[in-house]
Amino acid sequence: MGKVLSTELSVLLDDGTEVTASVDQRDYARWEAAPENVEGREMNTLRLRHLAWAALKRTGKYEHGFTRFNTVDAVQVLAPSAEPEEEAAEEGKA
């Protein structure tokens, strides 16, 4: 079986609420079908924000459309940090 496409993104909303978006393959598919998507783009801010919005919308944690999420409500969307072993290795290099 292939690699499962899933991750958790941290989202800070304008009202100060912090939510976790559990992104899975359904959200990646929604991004691929979105008019905002331009084929060949690597992971970028717009894609990250769209994935977070799609996951929150799918799970009932957010009720509005992507434009409002992107331009008004979502202050920051963060991807997961490196694995703890990777972080420790990087700290040892400093």
Domain ranges within the chain, ordered by starting residue:
7-93
Helix (H) or strand (E) holding 56: helix 45-58
Q: What's the pLDDT at 77?
A: 95
Chain length of the chain? 94
Q: What's the pLDDT at 85?
A: 46
pLDDT at 84 over 50: no
Average confidence (pLDDT) over 26-55: 82
Q: What's the pLDDT at 2?
A: 58
pLDDT digits (tens, 9 = 90+) for 4-28: 678 899 999 999 999 999 999 999 8
pLDDT at 94 over 60: no
Provide the angle, in degrees to the nearest 10, between the axes of the packed helices 45-58 and 25-33. 120
